Structure 1
Amino acid sequence: MSEFLANMYPWTKSLHIIAVLTWMAGLFYLPRIFVYHTEKVTPGHETDALFQVMEMKLYRYIMNPSIIAVWVFGLALVLTPNVVYWDSIWPYTKGACVIAMTWFHMWLGARRKDFIAGRNTRTGRTFRMMNEVPTLLMLVIVFSVVVKF
């Protein structure tokens, strides 16, 4: 198995990067849609339904498949020989941030359900502030993986 993973390493790493890019696009964009949904749309209006469709398609068809691929290819990389050195700090900081990013993904899904139920209580300001979460986590992840501290 480890020989197979070693031979597939360039493909696994490439697919992991592609999945991360598509997932991050959704993590950046969905909170921004929530800002406009909160500030510009009246619940129950036809525009409300339009926003809900946009949010659902982004979450279900882009973000969910991407997070699955990120985890599958990421775990494959972890299991590939000589990729992760557990005596360093970086795998732990990256792992913690990926778990936090996964929590953020689930938080966004819960907020989407709030809009569907007509019970969103968050403000546009809250969604603007939460929109910074994936950026901060991404910075830690990238520096962890590239600098390998």
Structure 2
Amino acid sequence: MSDMLSLAYPWIKAIHIMAVISWMAGLFYLPRLFVYHAERTKTGDATDATFQIMEVKLLRAIMLPSMITTWLFGLALVLTPGIVDWTQVWPWSKAAAVLGMTWFHHWLGVRRKNFVRGENVLSGRQFRLMNEVPTLLMVVIVFSVVVKF
């Protein structure tokens, strides 16, 4: 199995990077949709319904498959011999940030369900602030992997 992973390493890494880019795009865009959803709609109006369709399609058709692919191919990279040295700090900081990113993904899913039920209590400003979370986590991940601090 490890020979197969070593041979497929460039392909696994390429797919992992593409999945991460897709997932990150969704993690940046969904909170922005929530900003406008919170500020410019009333529960039950036509704009509310339009935002709900956009949000569920983004979450289910793009973000969820991208997150799953990111995790699967990321785990394949971790299992590839010689790629990760667990005695260093960087794999642990990256892992913590990826878990944070996954938590944020699920947090967004809960917020979407609140909009569907007409129970959103967060303001556009609060969603704007939360929109910075994936950026901060991305910085930790990139520095962890590239600089290996």
Q: TM-score, normalised by structure 2?
A: 0.99
1:4-37 CA distance string (max 9 Å, x none): 0000000000000000000000000000000000
2:50 is matched with which residue?
A: 50
C-alpha separation in 2, matches of 1:2 and 1:53: 43
Task: Determine what percentage of the aligned residue pairs are the same residue.
Answer: 64
Extract unaligned runs of 5+ from structure 1: none
Q: CA RMSD in A?
A: 0.4
Superposed displacement of residue 126, structure 1: 0.7
- Give the paired residue count: 149
Structure 1 position 84 matched with structure 2 position 65 = no
Superposed displacement of residue 42, structure 1: 1.1
Map 1:1-149; keep pairs closer than 5 Å: 1-149=1-149
Q: TM-score, normalised by structure 1?
A: 0.99
Superposed displacement of residue 87, structure 1: 1.1
1:39-82 CA distance string (max 9 Å, x none): 01111101100000000000000000000000000000000001
